[in-house]
Amino acid sequence: MEKLTGTLLKIPEIVKSALKSKKAVTQPRLSQVEPQQTVQAKLGVQAQPVVQVATAPPPRKLPGIKIPRKIIIAVAALVVILIILMIAMKLFGGKGTGVFPIASPSPSPRPTPEVEVPSQYADDEDVRKIQENMEALDKELNEAEFRDDRLRIPTLDWEVEFEK
């Protein structure tokens, strides 16, 4: 763990050194390319553009933007600290791989069906007869119609008048 921390702390210095070392630019600049001469002027001399390979120009800095070195160091240190914290959370924070677990719905408690133990009167003949009568009565209570819509009073025309 200490080795890892040491390595991470060296990152800003590595970044600094990378920013300092610059590679040479070998691409020629357009202003240094001579224009091709006309055929009439040279009469048969094949004009070829002359390309001069210039030396690497000095590194160009963005005009107006000057980032102090201290700020760069501070930002880099902040990044490092964040990375360390993330690793520490992964190692010591808890289980999981960074994906927030979705809370699964907790199962609602189902009432356990009551187990009815039949008594000695479950097969009693009198009780069975009462049950049969009850079923017949229940059916009658639900099916009986008190209002007979077929026998509604007929609507007839009782107003017979003749206008002369």
Partner 1 sequence: MKFKLFILIVALALLFVPGIAAQGTPAPEEEEFDFERAYQDYVFTLDVYNSVHADYLLSKAQYEQAGTLVAQSKAQEATTKMLETRDDVVTTYLTAIRMRMVEAEGVSDITKNGLFSRIDSEVAWFKDHKKRLPSAGTLADLQADSEEASKRFMELTQTVAYETLSTIPFGKLSLMRTATGGILSDINNKVFQIRANGDKDTAIIERWALEIESKITRSLDKEIEAQALIPNFTSDSRNRNPDHRKTYNEIIFKLDESRQFLRDATEFIEEIIREITTV
Q: Is there binding between residue 134 and partner 1 (CB under 8 A)?
A: yes
Residue 158 — φ and ψ, nearest 5°?
-100, -5
Instruction: Identify which of residues 81 and 130 has a Cβ nearer to partner 1 in the complex.
Output: 130
Residues in Cβ contact with 23 at an 8 Å cutoff, skipping those fewer than 6 apart: 56
Q: Is there binding between residue 119 and partner 1 (CB under 8 A)?
A: yes
Q: How far from 164 is each of 35, 157, 161, CA to CA, in Å? A: 120, 20, 10
Closest Cα to residue 76, out of 9, 7, 164, 149?
Answer: 9
Cβ–Cβ < 8 Å for 36, 48 = yes
Q: Identify the residue whose tokens are 């004009």.
A: 47
Cβ–Cβ < 8 Å for 67, 76 = no
Instruction: Identify which of residues 31 and 120 has a Cβ nearer to partner 1 in the complex.
Output: 120
Residues in Cβ contact with 65 at an 8 Å cutoff, skipping those fewer than 6 apart: none
Q: State the minimum distance, in angstroms, from the CB of residue 126 to partner 1.
A: 5
Q: Is there binding between residue 161 and partner 1 (CB under 8 A)?
A: yes
Choose the binding region for partner 1 from 36-44, 64-72, 88-96, 133-141 (rule: CB under 8 A).
133-141
Q: Is there binding between residue 160 and partner 1 (CB under 8 A)?
A: yes
Number of residues that bind partner 1 (CB under 8 A): 37
Choose the binding region for partner 1 from 20-28, 39-47, 76-84, 150-158 (rule: CB under 8 A).
150-158
Instruction: Identify which of residues 2 and 161 has a Cβ nearer to partner 1 in the complex.
Output: 161
Q: Is there binding between residue 125 and partner 1 (CB under 8 A)?
A: no
Q: How far from 1 is each of 10, 69, 76, CA to CA, in Å? A: 15, 29, 20
Single out the residue of 19, 32, 54, 138 in contact with partner 1 (rule: CB under 8 A).
138
Residues that bind partner 1 (CB under 8 A): 116-122, 124, 126-127, 129-131, 133-134, 136-138, 140-141, 144, 146-148, 150-151, 153-154, 156-164
